[in-house]
Amino acid sequence: MITFDERFFEAEVRNGFRVPSMMKHSWAADLELLSEIDRICKKHGIQYFADWGTLLGAVRHKGYVPWDDDIDIGMKRPDYERFWRVAREELPAGWQVINAYTDDDYMSVNTKISNGDTMQFSQEHLNRFHGCPFVNVIDIFPIDYVPRVKEEEEMQIELVNIVNNAAIHMHDPDTDEASFWETVRMIETMCGVTFNDTQPIFQQLAILGEQLCGLYGPDDADYLTAMHRLIGGQPYYVSKAAYDEAVMMPFENIEIPVPVGYDEILKFKYGDYMQMINCGGAHDYPYYKEQAEVLRNMLIENNIPLSAFYFEE
């Protein structure tokens, strides 16, 4: 368990942005999740890197970006595939691995690691996660290889988009069922696969999309990509050398691995990344907004002071 100075949990202003005490407790809980991921990665020789806002925070702030509320990490596709499989066996009881393979209604580019599926108030849980009762999640993003041959890259992108669009349109009430199944059979022919009609077709499409994203390996490529950006039309290419190895950097009161080519990566993602701009994130801030509202109502109904869980009066 990570040790924090009690002052860490106090509300403070960082770079002109006020970070409340509740967020500090959630930050600490996220770092506990990360420590468990780190343990599994070290045991199995899996490399991971700080990514997205977490990478920016490590380089620019030596910790969280003040207006960020979660941790993002990345793994090159082979490590990513190995990790989520071993994690299912090795994470603590009650923790979850959520991705297209484990959830028949999930379609996203990443794997989520959570410390549960509902708020928890046992003393054991609160002690482990520094008083934070919320469901905390770490996002793990696959880093994929881009084939050297441009025609192969274009074909890969086209196939992924066809498969993903079929899965998305499946839930559209205006989708014609006959047309949908015609598309499914076309995908089978194009990709050389046979779907199992007794299994959820949405999940099978989502898994196929994942497999197509990881079609190429290190021997086929000079560049790496965030495939969700590439198939979305962004020319997202980072040199393979940028991820050759990790270097350790301070992050709050621990150290985390960042790609050796972090400068190239951050310039590509954010431009002048040392410029202090709050550009928001990929979800509403804070991530625990709905959980906090439920918790607030519970405390009020039971005449418990809101300050017991770091609400500000």
| pLDDT single digits (tens) 112-139 | 999 999 999 999 999 999 999 999 999 9
Are 72 and 51 a contacting pair, CB within 8 Å? Answer: yes
Q: Which residues contact 306 (CB under 8 A, 6 or more apart)?
A: 296, 299, 300, 313
Residue 53 in domain: yes
Q: Is 78 buried (19+), middle (13-18) or exposed (0-12) by CB count in 10 A?
A: middle
Residue 165 in domain: yes
- pLDDT for 147-185, tens place per residue? 999 999 999 999 999 999 999 988 888 888 999 999 999
Co-location of 74 and 120 in the same domain: yes
Residue 310 to residue 105: CA distance in whole angstroms: 34
Residue 225 in domain: no
Residue 92 to residue 94: CA distance in whole angstroms: 6
Q: Can you tell me the mean pLDDT for 258-262? A: 98
pLDDT at 313 over 70: no
pLDDT at 101 over 60: yes
Co-location of 57 and 87 in the same domain: yes
Co-location of 102 and 156 in the same domain: no
Confidence of residue 279 (pLDDT cuts 50, 70, 90): low
- Report CA-CA distances (Å) from 55 to 24, 37, 101, 282: 18, 16, 27, 15
- pLDDT for 45-76, tens place per residue? 999 999 999 999 999 999 999 999 999 999 99
In 3D space, the residue among 183, 239, 226 whose CA is nearest the CA of residue 75 turns out to be 226
Co-location of 160 and 124 in the same domain: no
Co-location of 32 and 73 in the same domain: yes
Are 56 and 17 a contacting pair, CB within 8 Å? Answer: no
Range of the domain at 211: 150-219
Residue 235 in domain: no
Co-location of 115 and 199 in the same domain: no
Residue 33 to residue 39: CA distance in whole angstroms: 10
Co-location of 79 and 177 in the same domain: no
Residue 120 to residue 117: CA distance in whole angstroms: 9
Co-location of 294 and 156 in the same domain: no
Residue 1 in domain: no
Residue 230 in domain: no
Co-location of 305 and 156 in the same domain: no
pLDDT at 189 over 70: yes
Q: What is the DSSP letter of 135?
A: P
Residue 49 in domain: yes
Residue 31 in domain: yes
Residue 119 to residue 121: CA distance in whole angstroms: 7
Q: Single out the residue in 203, 219, 235 at which a domain terminates.
A: 219
List phi, psi (to 5°) of 139. Answer: -95, 130
pTM of the model: 0.95
pLDDT at 281 over 80: no
Co-location of 293 and 155 in the same domain: no
**Phi-psi sector, 233: left (phi>0), alpha (psi -120 to 50), beta:** left
Co-location of 120 and 183 in the same domain: no
Please report the pLDDT score of residue 282 as a whole number. 61
Residue 299 to residue 176: CA distance in whole angstroms: 48
Give the chain's domain count.
Answer: 2
For 97-126, give the DSSP string: EESTTT-TT---SSEEEES-SS----HHHH
Are 140 and 75 a contacting pair, CB within 8 Å? Answer: yes
Confidence of residue 299 (pLDDT cuts 50, 70, 90): very high
Q: Is 179 buried (19+), middle (13-18) or exposed (0-12) by CB count in 10 A?
A: exposed
Co-location of 211 and 193 in the same domain: yes
